[in-house]
Amino acid sequence: MKYTQIPTNTFETIQLNAGILATGFNPATGEVTGLLGATTGGVQFSDTPEYLDYGEDIDNCPKNMKELKKIDTREVKISGTFVTVTAESGAKLAGSADVDPLDSNHIIPRNDILQTDFQDVWWIGDYSNVNTGANAGFIAVHLLNALNTAGFAIQSTDKGKGQFAFEFTGHYSMDAQDTVPYELWIKAGNAVVTPSVNLNKHATSLAVDATETLTAVTVPAGETVTWSSSDSTKAEVTSGGVVTGKAQGNAIITASITKDGVTYTDTCTVVVVAGA
């Protein structure tokens, strides 16, 4: 059927699993620091723009004129439910609170909000068909100046786990008023590619003065191939892989590539026989 298809790269561009929440993430290396806790039910991120329509009160101006549409602000949130809590994460969930310097198990909420209460939060999720190892793909949301605006809440259950709802809201800053309080990375994984060169034949025979062309496939594609013969008096090879029988006997034709200072090779044994 014509319209019951999916993109051929679907599994290369799919987000998988619930992801994690952390206080730090390096998109260049994929390194996560400061896991905030285990969650249940997944995590939701939302970016809700508030629009202004400067044309709505102008006579004869249609609504939603694109030239007169502006974004006033964006409300960005990461919400979900933790099933683990520590004194440190509990203070973060309380929004504006301090850990008692005399008792690290004691959290003291405040009515005033300090600038130090705003801390960045990252959500990082698996992405693409390469989602393990150092080159794994990821989708990452960096929430700037985050504060839990849902307050501290516990939902306990009989014979079950306690749950701690959160709603981290990103905030603009007076120091960077045009900076939207989140950033987004979408990076496909890259499988580790081992360079190689592969010949179409590994053994062949030809008569004296006859020719045969060997072909080489390289990984990565398009690498420059260097050709050589172990005995050019028996069989010689040109830069295009054309082998010519010179005299009866054997010679080994080698195709090689050099990648990052390492040489990779493949060979073909040529047996040269007398001509007809």
Give per-residue pLDDT as tens, 221-261.
899 999 999 999 999 999 999 999 999 999 999 999 999 89
Task: Write out pLDDT tens, residues 49-92.
Answer: 999 999 999 999 999 999 999 999 999 999 999 999 999 999 99
- Whether pTM > 0.85 for this model: the answer is no
Residue 189 corresponds to which tokens in the numbers above? 């994984």
Average pLDDT (164-187) is 96
Average pLDDT, the chain: 94
What's 196-273's CATH class?
mainly beta
Q: Write down the pLDDT at residue 1.
A: 79
Contact 173, 143 (CB under 8 A): no
Q: How confident is the model at residue 99 (pLDDT cuts 50, 70, 90)?
A: very high
Please name the amino acid found at residue 238. Answer: T
Phi-psi region at 206: left, alpha or beta (left = phi > 0; alpha = psi -120 to 50): beta
How far apart CA 159 and CA 84 sit, in angstroms, is: 16
Distances (CA, A) of 60 to 57, 65, 66, 220: 9, 11, 15, 61
Q: Is the pLDDT reported for residue 276 higher than 70?
A: no
Amino acid at site 166: F
Note the pLDDT tens digit of each residue in 183-210.
999 999 987 778 999 999 999 999 999 9
Q: How many helices (H) and strands (E) does the chain have?
A: 1, 19
pLDDT bin (cut points 50, 70, 90) of residue 161 is very high
Q: Average the pLDDT over 162-183 and give the result.
A: 96
Domain with CATH 2.60.40.1080 in the chain: 196-273
CB 225 within 8 A of CB 265: no
What's the alpha-carbon Rg for the chain, to the nearest Å? 32
Q: Is the pLDDT of residue 150 over 80?
A: yes
